[in-house]
Every structure is written in structure tokens, then in C-alpha cells.
Structure 1
Amino acid sequence: MVNLIPMTVRGAEKLRKELKQLKNIKRPRIIIEIAKAREHGDLKENAEYHSAREEQSFCEGRIKEIELKLSNCQIIDITKIPNDGRVVFGSTVTILNIKNNEIFTYQIVGDDESDFKKNLISINSPMSRGLIGKTINTIATIFTPSGNVEYKILKIDYV
């Protein structure tokens, strides 16, 4: 049985865009670089050739990785899910750190789209695991290496 990879609509589109760029722009450019490097003669000591082949290997690996993820993804459009007041994949959660009164807002997304600087946290992060299923005004205890941190859930949006 294949494990489906949860992904937002935006995350799937981002991967499709990267795949298109890799296949239509980067791959052809690398092929041209390899052909040019071959023209220089002896391949054993041809640094340009080896560099281009290495880049080709990384590119092909990423293409396969993206194709596998897209073929095994479950795209979740949070805007089409009725908001039942629970934190779910794709929801945007505003929380209050009870200890220091700091307020944070995060969206729970797939691994590939997580970006802490943009407040996008992975579904597999300790924060997400502690928030999933909780409702407004409940306390979520997040287990961190430096100790447990308690957050009060202030707002849950399905946008």
C-alpha cells in the first residue's frame, strides 16, 4: 500500500512548476553543456564534462523525486473543507505562547512546502502534531528538546 503524501493546492502547483522548469529548461541546458564538454577531448580529465554529468545526475534525481511525489500525493484544498473549528492539514492557526504572551500564526502544509520564515510548518513537525485536532481556546502542549511549551489556540482559518 502506497502512503499518500498530503499537499496543499499551492504546494502541488509549486512542484509542477519546478518539474516543468527542470524538464524544459535545465535538462536541455545540461545536455548542451555535456556535448560542448565532450568536444574538448579526453573525458577522463575533463572537469567541465564531469561537472555537467554530476549536475545531470542531480537534475534527473530531482525529476524522479518530484514525479514520485506528485503521483503519490493527496491534494487537499482547505477552502473546500467545512470549517468545523478544528486544526487540520492546510488550516492557518493563530496561537499564543502562554509563557511569554507571543502570538504566532502558522499554516500547516506538506513537507515540501514548509518554510518557517514564511510561517509554513510541516505536517510532520512537533508543532503541527501538537496542534492537529485541537479547537479554539484549547491549550496545546508542544514537546520540544528544551521542554514542553504551552500554546492557546486563538484562531483557526481554512483559507
Structure 2
Amino acid sequence: MEDTRATWFSAEAYERLRRELDELIARRPAVAAEIDRARREGDPRENSGYQVAVEEQEMQEARIRELRALLRDARTGPAPRHADVAEPGTLLTLRFADGETETFLLASHEESAPGAADVVSTRSPLGTALLGARVGEEREYDLPGGEHMRVEVTKIEPYQG
């Protein structure tokens, strides 16, 4: 059985995230210098520049932790070659209860890129419900208000990037 923590990424998305992590780590000294500069301007409790710099550092460190976890648990490589089961790296066409159809990439939201298919996270209620589905199967998932939604998988194909 596949590790449920693992997240599939195309090689391009993995490298994009790796570069972002490297850039954030490289910016650490500049952010620390900005905090030090702002601290010297006076009482930190009354210094908005200091507060902004500290908040930027906190957001940067949170993103570094997030990227490290994503990359540590990443499964990279080409999309699955077979397209008979919904799994990370497949494009799924779904028919909703109202008859509308939409196509989604089943992957991490980090996989998304401008102009690409909308992404359904494998960790979302819909993504979790779809894992392992086959064409013609209906799956149900919970909506935020506690209601349930049914979808039918009408097509599964490998993601071509």
C-alpha cells in the first residue's frame, strides 16, 4: 500500500518548490539584518518596521517548514502511465449531481501552475473520496456545511503536464 503522506509531484513542480525553498533559505540573513536594523530604531513595541520584519520572518519560516515537509514526503516522476484508477497524477473528469462536468488533476495544490488544470488535493474530502475510483464509479464526499455531494468519475487519464 502506498504511503498516504506521500505527495506526487511532476519533476517540474518538484524543482519549482526546491528553488523556492533555496531562495527562502538564502534570504534568511537579509531578513535577520532587517530585524536587527529595525530593532535599533527604538522600542520594538512601538516600532511598526520591527513588527513587520518579524512577521515577515515568521511567514518565511513557516513556508520553509511547509516546503521541507512537502519535499521530504514527495513522490516525483512522471504521471502514472495507466489510467484505470484515480491516483495522484491523474486527470479526472467528474459529473456532479447537477449534470455539470469538470476535469481536475488529482495532486497536491503545490502542483498547480498557471494555465494548468484545476487541482484537487489528495488530502481534501473530494480528493480522498476519489482515490482508487474507476470510471463509472460514484463517490460521495462531505461538504463544509455537513451536506454530502455525489460525483461520478466519467474519465481518467494520465496527466501530461
Q: TM-score, normalised by structure 1?
A: 0.75
Higher-Rg member (1/2): 1
* Contact 2:140-2:150 within 8 A present in 1 as well: yes
* Contact 1:77-1:90 within 8 A present in 2 as well: no
Counterparts of 2:82 and 2:14, CA distance in 1 = 22
Counterparts of 2:38 and 2:22, CA distance in 1 = 25
Counterparts of 2:4 and 2:82, CA distance in 1 = 26
Number of the residue aligned with 1:16: 18
* Contact 1:78-1:158 within 8 A present in 2 as well: no
Equivalent residues in 2 for 1:22-33, closer than 5 Å: 22-25=24-27, 27-33=28-34
Q: CA deviation at 1:150?
A: 3.6
Equivalent residues in 2 for 1:113-128, closer than 5 Å: 113=111, 119-128=118-127
Q: CA deviation at 1:84?
A: 4.9
Q: Which amino acid letter does the alignment assign opposite residue 92 of structure 1?
A: L
Q: Which runs of 5+ in 2 are unaligned?
A: none
Q: Which amino acid letter does the alignment assign opposite residue 59 of structure 1?
A: Q
State the number of aligned residues.
Answer: 151
Q: TM-score, normalised by structure 2?
A: 0.74
Number of the residue aligned with 1:103: 101
* Contact 1:141-1:150 within 8 A present in 2 as well: yes
Counterparts of 2:45 and 2:131, CA distance in 1 = 54
Q: Which runs of 5+ in 1 are unaligned?
A: none
Counterparts of 1:129 and 1:43, CA distance in 2 = 46
Number of the residue aligned with 2:156: 156
Q: CA deviation at 1:43?
A: 4.2
Counterparts of 1:49 and 1:150, CA distance in 2 = 50
The secondary structure found in structure 1 opposite 2:88 is coil
Q: CA deviation at 1:95?
A: 1.7
